[in-house]
Chain A
Amino acid sequence: MPQDPDIDLLPGLRAGAPEALSTLMDRHLNRIHGLAWNMTGDRSQAEDIAQETFLRFWQAAPGWKDAGDATILTWLRRVATRLCIDEKRRMRPVYTDLVPEKADPAPRADLEIVRSETAERVQSAILGLPDRQRAALVLSYYQQLSQKDGAAVMGIKEKAYESLLSRAKATLKLNLLPEKESLRQ
């Protein structure tokens, strides 16, 4: 098994050094935030989940076993995925004081609107998938993990992961490809 590329940060994380946490976030915050966003479709929730994920690792770091069977990034993805599924099950309202961002004025705004609507439909279709299918799709497509790594994140066997992914793609094709045809017209 290849060595964890983040193992160099472990002494600092164990010692509670904020610099180590900061470096870990420089490396992986975008990935974890992206995973959470693809899973929830909500920016504020994605930020909360990313924060919770890193805080949990920060708290667990003193007891982290570097000879374990998972890399730090796999662990972060696993926790984030579970938090996303839990969050969706709870469906609690999210209160935020953040002002929604204004859309940037850009040329050919009509095409931007079409693209945005398509993106929304894709996101809606993804959010309509069962939790585990959605997780497999997000890990495979947006996190670009192999079946082996995706299965490791979800804590399931590769065959089971493959099955989840296959069903997710079939459902999405059914729901989204008519949309694709309409764009061509």
Chain B
Amino acid sequence: MTDLDTLLDQNAAPHVRGGLSTRILAAADMAQPANDVTPRRPWWSLGGIAAMAIMATIFFIQPTAKPSTDWVQIADGSGFTELYEWVEGGEDEDG
């Protein structure tokens, strides 16, 4: 053993402190594998898509505006049948 070896020997590294393994295991528990490509988005990041889907659904299921039987009955009951037919069915009579 050379003199340099003897000197270097005196600079031995200290032992690992007891809690280090536990600390690393705890950190590993939180760590995500580097090649894990599964998207892990928070739930709220999907809110925009959900809102657009709801708005689209509401838009497409809205009833179109055409005269319903209810309105005819209401017109009969209130005495405005002629006026109603003139407004809604005038074309047929004229044509």
Contacts and interface: CB of A to CB of B under 8 A. Distances in A.
Q: Do A and B come from one complex?
A: yes
Interface of A: 16, 18, 21-22, 25-26, 29-30, 33-35, 37-38, 43, 46-47, 50-51, 54-55, 58-63, 115, 118-119, 122-123, 126, 141-142, 169, 172-173, 176-177, 179-180
Contacts of A141: 5, 8
Interface stretch (B25-33, B43-51, B70-78, B80-88): B25-33
A137 B87 CA distance: 100
B91 interface: no
Most buried by A among B7, B17, B25: B7
B28 A62 contact: no
Most buried by A among B10, B13, B23: B13
Given A43-B17, A54-B28, A122-B7, 7 more contacts: A25-B25, A26-B21, A30-B16, A47-B20, A62-B35, A63-B34, A172-B8
18 contacts: A18-B28, A21-B28, A22-B21, A30-B16, A33-B16, A33-B20, A34-B13, A47-B17, A54-B28, A55-B24, A55-B27, A55-B31, A58-B28, A61-B33, A62-B34, A176-B4, A180-B3, A180-B6
Interface string B31-43: 1111110000000
Contacts, number: 94
Contacts of B21: 22, 25-26, 29
B11 interface: yes
Contacts of B28: 18, 21, 54-55, 58
B32 to A, nearest CB: 7
Most buried by A among B15, B16, B35, B36: B16
Contacts of A22: 21, 25
Interface size class of B (residues with CB under 8 A): 20 to 34
A117 B91 CA distance: 110
Nearest to B21: A25
Most buried by B among A35, A54, A115, A172: A54
Contact of A172 (B4, B17, B27, B35): B4
A61 B31 CA distance: 12
